[in-house]
Amino acid sequence: MERVCARRDNVLRLWAYLLELLRARRARLELSLHLQQNFQEMLYILDSMEEIKMRLLTDDYGKHLMGVEDLLQKHALVEADINVLGERVKVVVGHSQRFLEQEEGGYRPCDPAITVERIQQLENAYAELVHLAVERRKRLEDSRKLWQFYWDMADEENWIKEKEQIVSVDDIGHDLTTVYLLISKHKALEADMLAHEPQLMRVAAVGDELISQGHFGADRIQDRLRDILSQWNHLLDVVSLRKNRLDAAVRYHQLFADADDIDNWMLDTLRLVSSEDTGVDEAQVQSLLKKHKDVTDELKHYANVIQQLKQQASELSPEDANSGEVRERLAAIDA
């Protein structure tokens, strides 16, 4: 009976030992499975990183402002994908720590150095991806600044051309009324330019800032700035020229208006002195003598007025002063 009990106990011990071995093997197999799953997850992440990396290495930074805005929106989605990968990297690195520790029973599914190497490879790849994303965003932001600058420059150029077209017309009026109307419009345009100039200078300052920052489009920005400022200065010259022409037109038409006044006075005076009325009594004669004296005094005054008219003519532009119309009008007054 004792032998049977001893044999039974021995079988039970062996069975317990076998179960322990099975449990230990199962634990080792599960640990190895977890390791391989962890390594496989690393490979999946690396593949995803490689795919995103190819998208970040493109040289397309947009061909116009709307194109850059579209690329920035797409880049924001890429950055979101990178953030998701970052969380996956944290998780897989966290899971890898158990394979670096001494397991119960001294079992390790692989050399810890291999695990460390895989972790380092993954973290380096992620760091490179983040760096590429930051660099691409910076390039896209720089590209947006460039195309925004070009957009604003195009607006300024259109504004300048519109104003230049207005001031380049040949119409300078045909009398004082129309000339003063044109002068009023011209003053409004000058006020508009004065109000607009700070906006142009702000856009130009943006270009100067991009150049000082070493923007990749600095040379083209410099050329564009030089061109737009040249157009602005040309507009200022054209505006000044038109102002001078309108001022000259005022002097020209004022001369003829004053000449008309002199003509009208001379006609009135001629009618007065040509009268055959010599009076019928002493009172009438005295009245006529007084009128005659007044006319004589006024004639002396109008001699100065006529001289002033000639002075006005001499102050006209050489082209107007030497024109046939002015010469004929002055000659008619002297006749």
Q: Are residues 270 and 124 in the same domain?
A: no
Q: How many CA atoms lie within 13 A of 216 on its CB side?
A: 10
Neighbour-count burial of 150, counting CB atoms closer than 10 A to its CB (0-12 exposed, 13-18 middle, 19+ buried): middle
The reported pLDDT for the residue numbered 232 is 97
Q: What CA–CA distance (Å, rounded) separates 30 from 23? A: 10
The pLDDT-based confidence of 313 (bands split at 50, 70, 90) is: confident
pLDDT reported for residue 300: 65
Identify whether the C-beta of residue 184 lies closer than 8 Å to the C-beta of residue 228. no
Same structural domain for residues 118 and 240?
no
pLDDT at 205 over 70: yes
What is residue 188's predicted lDDT score, i.e. its pLDDT?
A: 96
Please give the residue range of the domain that contains residue 244.
168-334
* pLDDT beyond 80 at 301: no
Do residues 281 and 185 share a domain?
A: yes
Average pLDDT score, the chain: 84
> Is 155 a member of any domain?
no
Contacts with 163 (C-beta within 8 Å, 6 or more apart), sequence order: 189, 192, 193, 235, 239
Q: Is residue 152 part of a domain?
A: no
Structural domain contains residue 159: no
Burial class (CB in 10 A: 0-12, 13-18, 19+), 78: middle
CA distances from 198 to 87, 195, 205 (A): 49, 7, 10
Q: Hey, CA dihedral for 106, 111, 113, 118, is it positive or negative?
A: negative
Residue 10 pLDDT > 90: no
**Is the predicted pLDDT of residue 211 greater than 70, yes or no?**
yes
d(CA 226, CA 208): 11
Average pLDDT of the residues in 252-260: 81
Q: Is residue 158 part of a domain?
A: no
Whether this model's pTM surpasses 0.75: no
One-letter amino acid of 314: S
Question: How much of the chain exceeds pLDDT 90, in percent?
Answer: 48
Considering its fold, how many domains does the chain have in total? 2
Digit-coded pLDDT (tens) for 54-111: 999 999 999 999 999 999 999 999 999 999 999 999 998 888 787 777 565 566 667 7
